[in-house]
């Protein structure tokens, strides 16, 4: 068993504060997690920080910056970047330190203050793939729009279905004090928002946000010694795609060829499959899920990728109310990216925080009754994706 | 041979290539947007094929990407030009640089086509003048070379694009 205990969780509010430094938000999250764990800064033995590329050189060294702010302790600090899956990888590294017996109590955090608008490439040299794809006009929303249009053509997904995902998540988000957008959207408002990349409108896409999240993890032995009954992380999967990958993924302009065989499992499916395998659980054991709704349509893809239903059936799950609070398998009770926007290094940790709250029975108005286990799924670039399973 | 076509003259040069001469008598230069991805004059995408396992790659790779092979010897090949439309989208917001945009911004369509022969998907713009409302998943598309944008001096920057097959 690869279980580790979640002793504490902490989150800043999500918002947009151009004048704030990311470390200010990170401190809110870290101090919150320590308080929640009933531990002191001095109890932490290892720091695993999720890095952000948007806060200059020191943004790439958030672990050290935070350590300096909180007071140097001489403990090891590691920083990692894995696009939107950064937070999960930060937890995976920390978990490995626990499972190997090298440390008992570790801190993972990620925080960011990101710029507005489209992510832009750092170079204009066409030999740089990221520059070339922008020259052709292939932005990040382009990919999500291609997947959404594919759903519409293949499964008959409608604009109304996509709007309902946003409506659902906004209804959850108003109940979440940490959410950036606390407004219930109507289908009419969503459909009135401007088209960004057909079929996705502005309100079908998520924005970037400033925010930070942190968790304090420990070995199960430590938890037992201190008579704690914490929620556990049962799996962290960071599995990549299997060659040949037939899906067109950000920031590629082409796929692998399937000329010599069947497509390998996409990372979108593989990452969840490996998480279930590691936890010894299946989709039928999940009480709730946090999925990466980068677009409203992408949430529907995730229902299928995490095995909640067969391909093409996600719309039925949505329209039957199964994935709303009160339904059979609520998805994105936090409000999702729709209500938060995305803080790249923090978001995967925020997903885990939501599930931990659910399993503790501490989700307040967002509570899923009798929640026993949950799964997060998250998407990064270049094969970085993550899935974390949390259980009581 | 010279043809007078409205206000343009078209000349066939000795190499058999067609040059478009503007009324100002300046030749329109054509340069590829990126080197190594396509043969602009032949109008074909350039990839490579592993000599050991036969897998095909676009753009060209330095060694075979099949983890069961990893061969280091590859033949350079040109790709076929027809495939099925996998998906499409019309971008309505101006991307940041290095995208070169007309002012005011004009929406454009991006498509993904799965080549019939090499069985790989390729992203590209939809050719000028094609109505995106006519697009339907699964329809046959074919490759063309066309200007992505034009410099102030009239130089056309050429890239591959897709249009519905004739």
Q: What CATH number does the domain containing B91 carry?
A: 2.40.50
Flag whether residue A149 sits within 8 Å of chain B, measured between CB atoms: yes
**B134: which DSSP letter?**
G
Instruction: Give the integer Cα–Cα distance in Å for B61 and B70.
Output: 11
| Band of pLDDT at residue A1, cut at 50, 70 and 90 | confident
Q: Do B96 and B156 fall into the same domain?
A: yes
In a domain, B154, yes or no: yes
Q: Taking 70 as the threshold, does the pLDDT of residue B17 lie above it?
A: no
Q: Where are the domains of chain A?
A: 4-115+209-222
Q: Taking 90 as the threshold, does the pLDDT of residue B64 lie above it?
A: yes
Domain count for chain B, please give it: 2
Mean pLDDT across chain A: 93
- Confidence at residue B2, expressed as pLDDT on a 0 to 100 scale: 36
| Band of pLDDT at residue A56, cut at 50, 70 and 90 | low
- ipTM at complex level: 0.90
| Band of pLDDT at residue A114, cut at 50, 70 and 90 | confident
Instruction: Using the structure block, give the residue that is written with the tokens 């030999």.
Output: A127
Q: What are phi and psi of B158, to 5 degrees?
A: -95, 140
Mark yes or no for CB contact B92/A196 under 8 Å.
yes
Beta bridge partners of A233: A4, A390
Q: Do B50 and B65 fall into the same domain?
A: yes
Beta bridge partners of A112: A211
Give the distance from CA A227 to its chain's centroid.
30
Contact at 8 Å (CB) between B8 and B20?
Answer: yes
Nearest-CA distance from B161 to chain A in Å? 10
Range of the domain at B52: 42-79
* DSSP-derived pairing of the beta strands A373-379 and A288-291: parallel
Mark yes or no for CB contact A127/B35 under 8 Å.
yes
Q: Do B29 and B105 fall into the same domain?
A: yes
E strand or H helix at B110, and its extent? strand B108-115
- Rounded mean pLDDT of A284-310? 97
How many CB atoms are located within 10 Å of the residue A361 CB? 13
Q: Residue A2 is encoded by which pair of tokens?
A: 């690869």
Dihedral, A114, A119, A122, A126 alpha carbons, nearest 10: 170
Mark yes or no for CB contact A256/B97 under 8 Å.
no
Q: Which residue has the higher pLDDT, A172 or A53?
A: A172
Q: Do B119 and B95 fall into the same domain?
A: yes
Q: Taking 90 as the threshold, does the pLDDT of residue B13 lie above it?
A: no
Which of A134, A135, A257 best probes binding to B when mutated, by most B CB atoms within 10 angstroms? A257
Q: What are phi and psi of B84, to 5 degrees?
A: -100, 140
- Rounded mean pLDDT of B104-112? 97
E strand or H helix at B44, and its extent? strand B44-50
Q: Do B85 and B160 fall into the same domain?
A: yes
Q: What percentage of chain B exceeds 70 in pLDDT?
A: 84
Number of helices (H) and strands (E) in chain B: give both, helices first: 0, 13
> Residue B79: which of B24, B137, B142, B3 has the closest Cα?
B142
Please report residues of B whose CB lies closer than 8 A to that of A257.
55-58, 118-120
List the single range of A18-22, A55-59, A153-157, B46-50 with lowest mean pLDDT: A55-59
In a domain, B4, yes or no: no
Q: Do B47 and B36 fall into the same domain?
A: no
Beta bridge partners of B4: B9
Residues B45-75 as b/e (b if ≥16 CB within 10 A, e otherwise) read bbbbbbeeeebbbbbeeeebbbeebeeeebe
Q: What percentage of chain A exceeds 70 in pLDDT?
A: 98
Mark yes or no for CB contact B110/A256 under 8 Å.
no
Flag whether residue A38 sits within 8 Å of chain B, measured between CB atoms: no
In a domain, B37, yes or no: yes
Q: Taking 80 as the threshold, does the pLDDT of residue A340 lie above it?
A: yes
Q: Taking 80 as the threshold, does the pLDDT of residue A119 lie above it?
A: no
User: CB burial class (10 A; 0-12, 13-18, 19+) of residue A17?
Assistant: middle
- Confidence at residue A380, expressed as pLDDT on a 0 to 100 scale: 76
Contact at 8 Å (CB) between A318 and A185?
Answer: no
**Partner residue facing A146 (CB), from B54, B57, B87:** B87
Mark yes or no for CB contact A139/B95 under 8 Å.
yes
**Partner residue facing B97 (CB), from A124, A145, A254:** A124
Q: Which of B29, B61, B79 is the last residue of a domain?
A: B79
Mark yes or no for CB contact B123/A259 under 8 Å.
no
Mark yes or no for CB contact B56/A136 under 8 Å.
no
Instruction: Give the integer Cα–Cα distance in Å for A134 and B112.
Output: 15
- Rounded mean pLDDT of A13-42? 94
- Confidence at residue A52, expressed as pLDDT on a 0 to 100 scale: 81
Mean pLDDT across chain B: 87
**A270: which DSSP letter?**
H
Q: Do B85 and B149 fall into the same domain?
A: yes
Interface of A with B in 104-133 (CB under 8 A): 117-118, 120-121, 124, 126-127, 131-133
* DSSP-derived pairing of the beta strands A211-218 and A231-237: unpaired
Flag whether residue A283 sits within 8 Å of chain B, measured between CB atoms: no
Q: What are phi and psi of B53, to 5 degrees?
A: -110, -10
E strand or H helix at A169, and its extent? helix A159-173
Nearest-CA distance from B124 to chain A in Å? 7
In a domain, B128, yes or no: yes
Flag whether residue A76 sits within 8 Å of chain B, measured between CB atoms: no
Beta bridge partners of A201: A195
Q: Taking 80 as the threshold, does the pLDDT of residue A347 lie above it?
A: yes
Instruction: Give the integer Cα–Cα distance in Å for A133 and B122.
Output: 12
Q: Which residue has the higher pLDDT, B135 or A118?
A: B135
In a domain, B2, yes or no: no
Q: Kindly report the length of chain A.
A: 392
Please report residues of B whose CB lies closer than 8 A to that of A240.
none
Beta bridge partners of A211: A112
CATH superfamily of A4-115+209-222: Thiolase/Chalcone synthase (3.40.47.10)
Beta bridge partners of B114: B84, B121
Greatest alpha-carbon pair distance for chain B in Å reads 59
Contact at 8 Å (CB) between B59 and B33?
Answer: no
């Amino acid at each position: 068993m690869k279980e580790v205990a979640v002793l504490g969780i902490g989150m800043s509010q999500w918002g947009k504060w151009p004048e704030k430094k990311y470390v200010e938000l990170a401190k809110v999250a870290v101090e919150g997690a320590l308080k929640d764990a009933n531990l002191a800064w001095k109890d932490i033995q290892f720091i695993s920080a999720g890095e952000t590329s948007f806060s200059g050189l020191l943004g790439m060294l958030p672990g050290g910056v935070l350590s300096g702010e909180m007071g140097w302790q001489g403990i090891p600090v590691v920083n990692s970047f894995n696009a939107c899956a950064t937070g999960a990888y930060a937890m995976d590294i920390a978990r490995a330190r626990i499972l190997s017996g090298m440390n008992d109590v570790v801190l993972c955090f990620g925080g960011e203050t990101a710029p507005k608008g489209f992510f832009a490439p750092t170079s204009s040299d066409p030999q740089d793939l990221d520059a070339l794809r922008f020259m052709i006009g292939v932005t990040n929303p382009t990919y999500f729009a291609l997947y959404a249009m594919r759903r519409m053509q293949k499964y008959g997904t409608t604009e109304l279905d996509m709007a309902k995902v946003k409506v659902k998540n906004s209804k959850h988000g108003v109940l979440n004090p940490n959410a950036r957008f606390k407004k219930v959207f109507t289908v009419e408002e969503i459909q009135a928002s401007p088209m960004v990349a057909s079929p996705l409108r502005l309100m079908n896409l998520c924005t970037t946000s400033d925010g930070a999240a942190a968790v304090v993890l420990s070995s199960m032995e430590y938890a037992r010694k201190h008579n704690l009954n914490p929620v556990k992380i049962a799996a962290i999967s960071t599995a990549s795609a299997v060659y040949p990958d037939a899906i067109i993924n950000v920031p590629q302009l082409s796929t692998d060829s399937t000329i010599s065989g069947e497509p390998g499992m996409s990372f979108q499916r593989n990452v969840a499959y490996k998480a279930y395998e590691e936890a010894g659980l299946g989709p039928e054991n999940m009480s709730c899920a946090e999925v990466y709704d980068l677009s409203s349509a992408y949430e529907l893809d995730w229902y299928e990728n995490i095995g909640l239903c067969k391909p093409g059936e996600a719309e039925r799950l949505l329209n039957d109310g199964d994935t709303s609070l009160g339904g059979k398998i609520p998805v994105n009770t936090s409000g999702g990216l729709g209500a938060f926007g995305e803080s790249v290094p923090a978001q995967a940790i925020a997903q885990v925080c939501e599930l931990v709250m659910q399993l503790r029975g501490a989700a307040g108005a967002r509570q899923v009754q009798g929640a026993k286990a949950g799964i997060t799924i998250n998407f990064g670039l270049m094969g970085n994706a993550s899935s974390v399973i949390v259980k009581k | 041979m010279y043809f007078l076509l409205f206000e343009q003259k078209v000349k066939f040069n000795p190499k058999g290539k067609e040059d478009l001469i503007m009324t100002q008598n300046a030749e329109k230069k054509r340069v590829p947007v990126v080197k190594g991805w396509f043969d602009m004059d032949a109008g074909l995408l350039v990839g490579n094929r592993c000599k050991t396992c036969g897998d095909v790659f676009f753009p060209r790779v330095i060694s075979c990407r099949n983890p069961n092979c990893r061969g280091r010897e590859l033949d350079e090949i040109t790709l076929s030009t027809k495939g099925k439309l996998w998906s499409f989208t019309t971008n309505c917001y101006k991307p940041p640089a290095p995208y070169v945009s007309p002012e005011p911004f004009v929406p454009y369509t991006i498509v993904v086509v799965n080549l019939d022969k090499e069985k790989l998907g390729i992203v590209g713009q939809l050719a000028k003048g094609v109505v995106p409302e006519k697009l339907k998943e699964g329809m046959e598309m074919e490759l063309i070379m066309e200007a992505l944008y034009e410099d102030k001096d009239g130089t056309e920057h050429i890239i591959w694009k897709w249009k519905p097959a004739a």
